[in-house]
A = this chain, B = another copy of it.
């Protein structure tokens, strides 16, 4: 079902909504007694929400489709990730918390290793450590600052990955990747994929930038070449304030999640990835916003590491953050996840995520525990994650009647 335009129905009644995301929470049974980490964990607070509220399951992108962190969060924010695609470069810029402006063109970079003839011998430069890579990026930032009137900005990401941003008037993002996706050949030249003058100019500038950059690092042992991918502008999306009428704050200790939230107009608050401090940061912003997205990271990391016990531990830590959020008296309080990260799979997966929502107007169901299996019986049912935002707005009293 395509997203409905809710703007004609919006009404501001001063109510407050909290969306508490336990990253990668969803899982499959792989623990002792065939439990999921969420079933094995003691979560007295989320269980109380399940008894007092309504539960269900959210499907992040499309049945069977495993979301990256960007799409996983966009769905929860009410942006269908298929309707709202993000270019790789834009996501990387959001991900490192880069001050990514409208008109900028970003590309993801991989450092690679070239032989004496300029042919690629390793597309990831031996996955050099992040600090070595950051040093190379510093050198680039010194060496290549401007080309043909276009400002060039560089930022490290992680290991062999980095970010390049072109800033200037009239740039386009219709530019092909320069990564040939194989070794034994040189990097490709940057060529326009679009047909506009902006694309052609940007391809030409990017080509000069990459040539100058590779010249500047040619004496590096490993990272002496650069492959650029996913040229992308910042998308011109309507903000959550425009689409849903809420002033929104993001409290997320990891740049990636802050970045995605900022793409939809949420305003950044201090955050540390220590849940007690992050809840305090949310509380400090309580009077200034209507909608609060607070992010808990460690559950996902434990899943990625395949560490069942650590995931149980971090779920319990996330649960312990709930009472302080409840004390603020939100009209709608939700706990859910951006995607599943089953410990047995050591990575993201397509499994729908459990969700619980508490508000005065819920039609309380029979669910008594917050976990993947109990939630199947809940009032919310199984839905695309994009349905969560309209349900939250309704329970917050923020949607007027449709038609007479």
Contacts and interface: CB of A to CB of B under 8 A. Distances in A.
Contacts of A88: 404
Interface centre among A345, A390, A404 (most CB of B within 10 A): A404
B365 A376 contact: yes
Nearest to A230: B404
A86 B402 CA distance: 11
A66 to B, nearest CB: 5
A125 B34 CA distance: 64
B71 A402 contact: yes
Given A361-B349, A387-B63, A68 B376 contact: no
Contact of A81 (B6, B81, B379, B402): B402
B391 A64 contact: yes
A3 to B, nearest CB: 9
Nearest to A381: B382
A92 B403 CA distance: 11
A363 B403 CA distance: 35
Interface string A118-134: 00000000000000000
Interface in A363-401: 363-366, 372-373, 376-379, 381-384, 387, 389-395, 399-401
A167 interface: no
A66 B345 CA distance: 39
Contact of A64 (B365, B382, B399): B399
Contacts of A347: 401
A345 B67 CA distance: 38
Contacts of A294: none
Given A71-B402, A381-B381, A394-B350, A65 B6 contact: yes
A359 to B, nearest CB: 10
A366 B374 CA distance: 9
Interface in A12-41: 26-29, 34, 36
A284 interface: no
A82 interface: yes
A379 B381 contact: no
A63 B379 CA distance: 12
Contacts of A36: 363
A160 interface: no
Contacts of A365: 373, 376
A399 B383 CA distance: 21
Given A361-B345, A376-B377, A65 B402 contact: yes
Interface string A52-76: 0000010001111111111100000
A403 to B, nearest CB: 4
A143 interface: no
A25 to B, nearest CB: 12
Nearest to A392: B64
Given A351-B363, A377-B377, A67 B403 contact: yes
A68 B34 contact: no
Interface string A137-172: 000000000000000000000000000000000000
A390 B65 contact: yes
Given A64-B387, A350-B394, 13 more contacts: A4-B62, A28-B364, A36-B363, A64-B392, A64-B394, A65-B394, A67-B403, A71-B403, A91-B403, A344-B361, A345-B361, A363-B372, A377-B377
Interface of A: 1, 4, 6, 9, 26-29, 34, 36, 57, 61-71, 81-82, 85-86, 88, 91-92, 95, 342, 344-345, 347-351, 361-366, 372-373, 376-379, 381-384, 387, 389-395, 399-404
What are the 7 tightest A-B residue pairs by CB atom distance, in nearest-first order? A64-B390, A64-B394, A68-B403, A381-B382, A63-B387, A71-B403, A28-B363
7 contacts: A9-B65, A28-B363, A61-B402, A63-B394, A64-B393, A64-B399, A65-B390
